[in-house]
Chains A and B, each alone.
Chain A
Amino acid sequence: MTDITNLSLADLRDALKDKKVSASETTDAYLARIDAAKDLNAVITVTADKARAMAKVSDDKLSRGEGGALEGVPLGIKDLYCTEGVLTTAGSHILDGFKPRYESTVTGNLWRDGAVMLGKLNMDEFAMGSSNETSFYGPVVSPWRRAGPNSHKDVTPLTPGGSSGGSAASVAARLCAGATATDTGGSIRQPASLTGTVGVKPTYGRCSRWGIVAFASSLDQAGPIARDVRDAAIMLRSMAGHDAKDSTSIDCPVPDYEAVLGQSVKGLKIGVPKEYRLDGMPDEIEKLWADGVAWMKDAGCEIVDISLPMTKYALPVYYIVAPAEASSNLARYDGVKFGHRAKDYDDILSMYETTRAEGFGDEVKRRVLIGTYVLSAGYYDAYYLRAQKVRKKIFDEFSEAYKKVDLILTPSTPSAAFGLGEKDGDPVQMYLNDIFTVTANLAGLPGASIPAGLDAQGLPLGLQLLAKPFDEETMFKGMHALEQAAGFSARPDEWWG
């Protein structure tokens, strides 16, 4: 088979089980694609030897008719997940040379089920960013390009989104069969939307956070970025599950998400929140959203207008809560236990200060400073405590809405992908990318982005579905219905390599 890498994860899984392809040849095919896609800068570390060794073990199992749910399937891993013996950078200079002596629970679950690790994927530094431009390893370039005049492609490098930009770009460019990602304010759904891929942020507590480099612990959640809804369902089932090592991971059964795909959505109540209609939002986004509503209606859903008036406060709450938690979590990077240590210092204090000044990039420093400020004596009540109370109001508002609806449908992002460097002036402009996604993190809800159309320049646009806590099954049903109706099949031209 010449084009193994064009198989969806589901089809690849079946082809491997039927011995139509081997894990080793599949792995080699993906490694060759990664090698040819250096222009995308999507991969920080390629683990070719490890991948081939894992593939060989999978082939042995498959030849005996054994193997797990992902046996022999090659995946990319966001470089926020600790992987035993393999460089783990979180996109930061301060983790130089860090090779964890343990495996994150979620990646461990994937290897338990037979998946093969191709490498570690680029990302915004400590997952702080919406464009992948804060990575110490340089920005990821989206495989997508704008359509130019006379059917020539505009060569302006575009962002794949962030922070899971390497994951989204790798999946869109078919450098892996699927990828892990993480979402603190939209870092799975926003890049998925910008790259025409499917991204799923499960309910907070669905996946273990153990061994994932912490950014904002009450918001961080692991999830997959995949080519289609079925692939995402397969990956999430393996990634999810209770873990005693994460006290916020929830002990409840993990359903077979794939089994619900194709089930009727007839009678489901779909909420459409009017506050997600923004001034100045491109007409194309407005139209896409209307299309989504029409598709769900055609599938037999009942459309319910809802109001979530706290929506406009979600990002300001996020930019207190997330930096506050980050300033605490990132206190561990002090040049003592792992990673970078400054060469020149006078005493222990200047060692800490110089190490952190050298090791952190500008956006991370900015957030650590804001977090330190809002937690400092005299400001705690005015900022942090107030933000936690507004967060409760956002949570309550969703709880009320979910008494009336089963799912909520919104656009995933306020615009299509933008050019690298186009939004590096005002941090707040960059933060606004997450305006539709951040509410789900604050309320702990599951959310997903599904590719639904192209804008006038030929760039992908996504729709977002939000569900009730731990009701990912209904979300997947809705995602599948949207996917079927949208019939999104566009692919980026392979200008790289």
Chain B
Amino acid sequence: MAVDKETVRKVARLARIAEPEERLEPLAEEISGILGWIEQLNEVDIEGVEAMASTVDVSLALRADALQEGPTGGGQPDNIVANAPKTQDHFFVVPKVVE
């Protein structure tokens, strides 16, 4: 399926990537080329085949509903914000989103 410039604009917005106007057409061509190659999957008979999301056939393990120890545990706000570009009092600072 060929993708046009307007579709790339829409998808780039969904993906939160600012693509400059002059990149939209080349991207449409590149992505159409890749999707065209992918189209060969339409030859495969998938009638009655179940979709496979993972090769691991295990049910998720349950654990006690309690605070974890270690790096996945709580009580470590300094670590959580340590790498953020902008913080204040253990909060992430972003541009105003509510008027």
Interface residues of A (CB under 8 A from B): 97-103, 204-205, 218, 244-245, 247-248, 250, 310, 312-313, 316-317, 319-320, 327, 331, 334-341, 345-354, 356-357, 360, 365-366, 368-370, 372-373, 376, 382-383, 385-393, 395, 426-428, 442-444, 469
Judged by DSSP, the binding face of B is loop
**A340 → B minimal CB distance (Å):** 7
A101 CA to B40 CA, complexed, in Å: 45
In the complex, chain B residues whose CB is within 8 Å of the CB of A98: 83
Cα of A98 to Cα of B83 in the assembled complex, Å: 6
Secondary structure call for the A interface: helix
Complexed CA–CA distance, A360 and B23 (Å) = 14
Knowing A334-B16, A338-B84, A347-B95, say if A376 contacts B11 (CB, 8 Å): yes
User: A350: which B residues are within 8 A, CB to CB?
Assistant: 18
The answer to whether B83 and A389 have CB atoms under 8 Å apart is: no
- In-complex Cβ contact of B34 among A310, A349, A370, A391 (8 A): A370
- Given A336-B94, A372-B11, A443-B55, answer yes or no on A386-B17 (Cβ-Cβ < 8 Å): no
With A and B bound together, what is the CA distance between A427 and B96 in angstroms? 40
CB distance from B41 to the nearest CB of A (A): 5
Say if the beta carbon of B88 comes within 8 Å of chain A.
no
Q: Can you list 21 contacts pairing A with B, beta carbon distance less than 8 Å?
A: A101-B83, A204-B55, A244-B61, A247-B61, A248-B58, A250-B56, A316-B41, A327-B15, A338-B83, A339-B83, A340-B85, A341-B85, A353-B18, A356-B17, A366-B30, A369-B8, A387-B41, A390-B41, A390-B49, A392-B50, A392-B52
Residues of B within 8 A of A (CB): 1, 3, 7-8, 11-19, 27, 30-31, 33-35, 37-38, 40-42, 44, 46, 49-56, 58, 60-61, 63, 71-72, 76, 79, 82-86, 92, 94-97
> What's the nearest-Cβ distance from chain A to residue B16, in Å?
4
Q: Does A385 lie within 8 Å of B51, measured CB to CB? A: yes
B17→A369 contact, CB < 8 A: yes
* B54 partner residues in chain A, CB cutoff 8 A: 218, 248, 444
Bound Cα distance A341, B84 (Å)? 9
Contact A316 B61 (CB under 8 A): no
User: Which A residues are in CB contact (< 8 Å) with B8?
Assistant: 369
**Whole-angstrom distance between the alpha carbons of A340 and B17 in the complex?**
14
Residues in A whose Cβ lies below 8 Å from that of B71: 101-103
Bound-state Cα–Cα, A337 to B91, Å: 10
Complex: how many Å from CA A81 to CA B40? 35
* Set of chain B residues within 8 Å of A317, measured between Cβ atoms: 41
Q: Which of the residues B17, B31, B49, B50 comes within 8 Å of A373, measured between beta carbons? A: B31
Q: Is the CB of A428 within 8 A of B34?
A: yes
- Rounded to whole Å, the gap between the CB of B9 and the closest CB of chain A is 11
Q: Are B55 and A101 in touch, CB under 8 angstroms?
A: no
Given contacts A313-B40, A351-B94, 4 further A-B contacts (CB under 8 A): A244-B63, A320-B41, A335-B85, A349-B16
Given known contacts A316-B38, A373-B3, A357 and B15 CB-to-CB distance under 8 angstroms: no
A389 / chain B contacts, CB cutoff of 8 Å: 44, 46, 49-52
**Judging by beta carbons under 8 Å apart, are A341 and B86 in contact?**
yes
Q: Is the CB of B17 within 8 A of A336?
A: no
Which residue of A is nearest B27, CB measured? A369
CA distance A142 to B77 in the complex (A): 43
Q: Report yes or no: B52 in contact with A352, Cβ–Cβ below 8 A.
A: no
Which chain B positions have C-beta within 8 A of A341?
85-86
The answer for the CA separation of A248 and B61 in the assembled complex, in Å, is 10
User: When chains A and B are docked, how far (Å) is the Cα of A337 from the Cα of B82?
Assistant: 9
B85, B86, B97 — most chain A CB neighbours (10 Å)? B85
